[in-house]
Amino acid sequence: MTYLTEERRLIMDSAREFAMREVMPVANRLDPEKGDIPMELREKMAEMGYFGILIPEEYGGLGLGCFEYCIVAEELSKAWMSVASIMARANGLIGMPVMTEEQRRNYLPRMARGDFIGCVSISEPDVGSDVSGIACRARRDGESWVINGNKYWCTFADGADFMILMARTSEPSNPKRRHEGISCFMFEKPRGRFPKGMQGNAIPKIGYFGMKTFELAFDDFRIPVDSLMGKEGKGFYLISSELEKARAHTAARAIGCASGALDTAVAYAKERVQFGKPVSDFQGIRFKLAKMATEIEAARQLMYYVCDCVDTGRRSDKEASMVKYLASEMAERVTSDALQVLGGAGYTQLHPVERFWRDARLTKIFEGTSEIQLRIISDRLLA
């Protein structure tokens, strides 16, 4: 099957040119400072339509699919993975299928323009892979929901215009169905600060700069009653319905990090001279680069397949876990090998390979750890 149509190649080429011209210089300057993605870059992304790739045309988006979404994410990640991630904070809206028409017309056009970018708050201090263990509570009080509890790993919570929050509204009727009783909420918040009843502290990270990641505390935090997305107690299913797309997107980011590292390593190997000739002439380096390129392409082709499944409505939860696992594990190896090709230079901030290496390591953790992916794959195989 020919996945890369002429239209998709044009989208890919355009995203690659944008990443190298607009994103890479900003990343090289701000990532060492742990700086945030500047508004100017976000505005340029909005002009390219990147915040509305998955949003229907009738609401101001491009009306494209998971395939286009992921090829753009890969190209952006070749410069700075965080930029490909902030793109998801408009495109990957949990609950979009259950929005009312009024909500769609209120939110989606603003998201497509890049004026309305959100964050997602699911994990908690004691809740990571086991989402069914959510303890943060939402209690109905008249025309409000009152939120109490703590959340963790909420990236971009400070700069977001809205938040998607998972909280427990009731206890499960069956201990074996702990995921029941979890509800999904979406509410607006002031950009750049936390509203009354919500506090946030930034978590120190070793990478994934460009956006801060927060621990949040909710103390009688009130949101409107119509903040509930879908049916009460059924929020777990909203999360699950988006996992295939989310894991393909994470695979795309991992592949982008690996590709960016490979490009850096190839360029350096051609220029670096040792023993009177470029190190690219040595078989050890040549074969290392060849293996890196092969691993990247294998993960990319599986990603293309998963994206095609998502866009054509075929079930691909097993394959989505496979590509997330394969791509993230590959990205850690390839970025580490790229750093080795650069030698001591790779261990400095004078080259972007150390950024790719740090960011690639995270892809094995978020959107479900590698171990969780293996659990899903094996469950499907042995069901």
Cα–Cα distances (Å) from 188 to 119, 191, 226, 236, in that order, read: 10, 9, 12, 21
How far apart CA 251 and CA 299 sit, in angstroms, is 8
Q: Which helix (H) or strand (E) element contains residue 151?
A: strand 144-155
Distance CA 96, CA 5 (A): 28
Structure tokens at 191: 């950009």
Give SS3 for 84: helix
Q: Amino acid identity of 104?
A: R
Backbone angles phi, psi at 218, to 5 degrees: -110, 125
Contact 152, 215 (CB under 8 A): yes
Distances (CA, A) of 308 to 75, 159, 314, 321, 383: 18, 33, 8, 15, 25
Pure H helices in 221-316: 235-241, 243-271, 283-311
How far CA 12 is from CA of 17, 68, 276, in Å, comes to: 9, 8, 38
Q: Alpha carbon 182 to chain centroid distance?
A: 23
Name the catalytic one among 143, 271, 367, 371.
367
Q: Which residue has the tokens 């259950």?
A: 98
Whether residue 102 lies in the annotated active site: no
Question: How does 321-360 read in b/e, with b if 16+ C-beta sit within 10 Å?
Answer: bbbbbbbbbbbbebbbbbbebbeeebeeeebbbbbbbbbb
As annotated, the active-site residues are 367
